[in-house]
A = this chain, B = another copy of it.
């Protein structure tokens, strides 16, 4: 399982509804650690040691003037010493979780913001390239305060997957991800709730087996034809 470090660069995490929502969403994930940046002088060796322990590094921030708040750049400037960055990050993943004050559709040529988020966050991609890291697709969240409950539930799932799922997104992988999550949750429950969760789990597994059998059958029919 990937060990994920979420580095949060937000000047007022406690006052941000979205950041609180994301913190709560990641709390139940065993493989995820969150880390809040503040405006202080960093001990670069300590910070480097922290990073070494994770496979996936996530920069999580609100977009301020088409980049992260300065807290993140300060941390990068002080912690990413050249020799460390060039040799000790190889093969780790780097992803961005970015909140936007405007609709994501506005980021495209011919649209108000003229450029895509991929283009605007290019400096992070080039940083990942330089460090021989694997750059993940950016996870953007638009206009959180206008979201209804249904959208927020969807966001929670998508966010959890972004933090923990293996790269690649086949249907089967998604299913496995959900099964693992259900398993984790059921282990923490007792009594009636646990029983229901275990039943749901076995239903999904049964359905999967049935699907696999059907697929075999189809393959056989195909071979005969």
A211 at the interface (CB under 8 A from B): no
Interface residues of A in 191-215 (CB under 8 A from B): none
For A64, the closest partner residue in chain B by CB is: B77
- The A interface, classified by DSSP as helix, strand, loop or mixed, is helix
Whether B77 lies near A70 (C-beta < 8 A) is yes
Taken together as a complex, chains A and B put the C-alpha atoms of A76 and B64 apart, in Å, by 9
Query: Which residue of B69, B77, B124, B130 contacts A77 across the interface (Cβ within 8 Å)?
Result: B69
Q: How far is the CA of A126 from the CA of B116 in the complex (A)?
A: 10
Q: What are 25 pairs between A and B in contact, CB < 8 Å?
A: A11-B77, A64-B73, A64-B76, A64-B77, A65-B76, A65-B123, A66-B122, A66-B123, A66-B124, A66-B127, A67-B67, A67-B73, A67-B123, A68-B73, A69-B73, A69-B77, A70-B73, A70-B76, A113-B126, A113-B130, A115-B122, A119-B119, A120-B122, A120-B126, A123-B123
